[in-house]
Structure 1
């Protein structure tokens, strides 16, 4: 039985950021019949990065959206990851195969551009506005107004910041809260970072030369540098490409120097080229190849260099504005949970928005945001902690060597317990037809889904006891908020 109610809220949602999280939210709102617009600062979105890991923690919602089969056709499962030294000798193995029993699926590796394009097809082109750099926003009881660098303005009922680690929406929101003295001190501090990352994905390679590509599973291989500040990762994809990533660990002095020079997570091609030259001789486990060989096999437009920040923000919303994904929890990529967490944020926030009445008040919206954060924050913190712990496997301090040694002899049961944490939470959209959960481990509670089901049961019971008022709710009121009223109200505040 579907959980959907006849008429969704008439609220208009402004989504800033057309990344994985923003597109997932847009796709869900599209299916829910809720009005929205996506704003993207770039002329076109180039999904940088090589690939990402997805598992049963997002598969159910992909099935609800009708794209799971296409995703699995373009992804490759992996059941283990192997660590190496610089002599190309295997030093440890992490077994991910219990994840299939826990959640119903093995983890899969999928190219980020492929996943992005699958999601993009779910969103009508006219609802994604490019070249829209957000400069500021105003919000009050009448609505929310955003101002773009091209002097255009847009207003709606809810603003969602899905625009990454250096979110313009978050910066505007925090500036507003700081003026009121309502911003926690920790949220006002800059994003800390101690690593840079060079990533790329090769063109399709000859499987006769790279024979491990013929295997049904992904080879996920990590090498920790010896007496050098680097660690590097390679993994194979469904289409005979190799994704690669080189991490450079920065000491405190270098971090401070970089921190004072800019506040942008992406660097230009010149910086990427410089690092490409620095890491060419790093050995990879296969074919006596080096990172330089993989760089040479990678189109230059698919190479990027980024800073790796870590921060879990405390403030996720205020009034009519809410944050998702990297805008409120930036994670180290070691566990592959950044994109997964953004997708899960989108599912829960979509459920909470769907619960809103027509013409929702600020109090209605605040309550929805409270539900969203209360469900997601503990899980985001768990993902953040997991990412932080796994990052220790490639660190360069003495204690990182100790951790790697302990992990080598760690009982399999301990790592399996961590997989339970990663894959027990398997959210679904409350307004779409539910799908059968395939895991043997009972899904972790999803409060937004439970509320929707309880409300549905109550409505069914009420309708069976009394005649339906055919006039009630038959007319959906249009949003009457004007730009002027928002501006004047915000000035008054």
Structure 2
């Protein structure tokens, strides 16, 4: 809190979704759609879905995760035209498989950590790159996760992870059912009190793509940069992407391909170097949590037992210093002790100006 001047707030992803959805017009959100392909023309982008519906828009933002269908279609098109870099042609090769969930309300008597006023992250470093953790959160709930290296022994080099069943979590879970939960009981007990819609599986790797945009299509978050989760930087960078991209789009004077490309180029120039610099922090955190070599074990012990708290605080301050803010909302003041990295100057738009620009620039499609 000293670094930023703001308290940390912890909630479940479901609570965050509900909060965000409450700010939006329900009629503008369409759920349950799977994009199969898209194509661009002089008027915009047409998106084709698996239920044979077609949607038209001025731009397409691929924010659909590490297995991004938008990225796959975009890269396939660019590859045919000879416009895709060699590194972006490499296959998806995940390092770890993660299963995470939120258990329903638990008994504070069984899990004393629930009585505490603060959140505690309790992690167990297992053998051979495995591990699990549990976190107490408000409303007597517990977030949990378990991970293990991906076993490629039964996979051919040609086999793709595009068709992996991401909702089929039991093969991973069964390896951890009898493991002791750091907050009490067994990990299997938390899994059994977690509904299917609050349990998910994801394959993760450390990957930074070079191509983030082309034409009227742009990528965001894990779709263009995937960070291993142990540094806690993945979600933060996704939010930063959205903030910077929103600022760039608000500066558009019209919806011509030239201006849209310039906006995407500005977004890339602001975000790519920052994301690239985050990979070193991610690699260090990964070694601390899952590293198994003698050097990595020694480093982990030294970090947890010998590293002065002032140095840990300095590491946090470095991450907290980067705070892009949307230009269409009142600017948040810096209440903390940490310095703030200067952002590219943007005009502060009033609510009336934002409404006018959206109507003037983005409202033109209705007349086409």
Correspondence 1:263 to 2:158: no
Q: Which of the numbers 298, 312, 330 marks the counterpart of 1:433?
A: 330
Map Cα deviations across residues 340-369 of structure 1 (whole Å, 9 max, x no partner): 2211111111111100013x2111111111
Gaps of 5+ in 2: 354-358
Report if aligned partners of 2:133, 2:182 keep a CA contact under 8 Å in 1. Answer: no
Name 1:325's counterpart in structure 2.
221
Verify the 8 A CA contact 1:229 1:250 in the aligned structure 2. no
Displacement of 1:261 in angstroms is 5.4
Match for residue 342 of structure 2? 445
Question: Is the Cα–Cα contact under 8 Å of residues 140 and 319 in structure 1 kept in the other structure?
Answer: no
Give the alignment's TM-score, normalised by structure 2.
0.88
Q: Please give the alpha-carbon distance, in whole angstroms, between the structure 1 residues aligned to 2:260 and 2:225.
A: 21
Q: Are the aligned partners of 2:122 and 2:183 in contact in 1 as well (CA < 8 Å)?
A: no
User: What's the counterpart of residue 66 of structure 2?
Assistant: 165
Counterpart-to-counterpart distance in 2, 1:475 and 1:168 = 31
Larger Rg: 1
Distance across 2 between alignment mates of 1:387 and 1:259:
28
1:233: how far off?
A: 1.0
Distance 1:154 1:315, change over 3 A: same
Could you give the per-residue CA deviations for residues 303-332 of structure 1, whole angstroms, max 9, x where no partner exists? Answer: 333222221111111121111111111121
2:116 aligned residue = 215
Which residue does the alignment assign to 2:146?
246
Instruction: Say which of 244, 268, 271 aligns to 1:373.
Output: 268
Q: Does 1:478 align with 2:327?
A: no
1:114 to 5, 10, 15: 15
Specify the SS of the correspondent of 1:142: coil
Answering whether residue 193 of structure 2 is matched by residue 297 of structure 1, we say yes
Q: Distance in 1 between matches of 2:190 and 2:366?
A: 56
* SS of residue in 2 equivalent to 1:401: helix
- Pairing 1:234–2:130 present: no
Alignment of 1:339 onto 2:235: yes
Structure 1 Cα separation of the partners of residues 191 and 54 of structure 2 = 43
Q: Does 1:123 align with 2:9?
A: no
Task: Report the equivalent of 1:77.
Answer: none
Query: What SS class does the counterpart of residue 78 from structure 2 fall into?
Result: helix
SS at match of 2:98: strand
Count how many residue pairs are aligned between Structure 1 and Structure 2: 358
Q: Secondary structure at the match of 1:346?
A: helix
- How far, CA to CA, are the matches of 1:386 and 1:347 in structure 2? 22
Distance 1:114 1:104 in 2: 23
Q: Deviations over 1:131-176 (max 9, x none)?
A: 3322222224432222222333222221111111111111111112
**TM-aligned CA distance change 1:307 to 1:258, over 3 Å:** farther
Q: Are residues 152 and 404 of structure 1, via their aligned partners in 2, closer, same or farther at CA, if it must alter by over 3 Å?
A: same
Give the Cα–Cα distance (whole angstroms) in 1 for the partners of residues 315 and 197 of structure 2: 36
| Paired position in structure 2 for 1:384 | 279
Q: 1:383 to 1:179 in 2, by over 3 A?
A: same
TM-score by length of 1: 0.67
Deviates more, 1:240-249 or 1:273-282: 273-282
Query: What is the deviation of 1:475?
Result: 7.2
- Higher RCO structure (Cα 8 Å, ≥6 apart): 1
Following the alignment from structure 2 to structure 1, what is the Cα–Cα distance between the partners of residues 173 and 206?
Answer: 24
**Farther off after superposition, 178-187 or 275-284:** 275-284
Q: Which residues of 2 match residues 5-44 of structure 1 at below 5 A?
A: none
In structure 2, distance between residues paired with 1:332 and 1:251 = 17
Q: Label 1:101 to 1:396 Cα distance change in 2 as closer, same or farther (>3 A).
A: closer
**Closer/same/farther in 2, CA of residues 142 and 123 from structure 1, 3 Å limit:** same
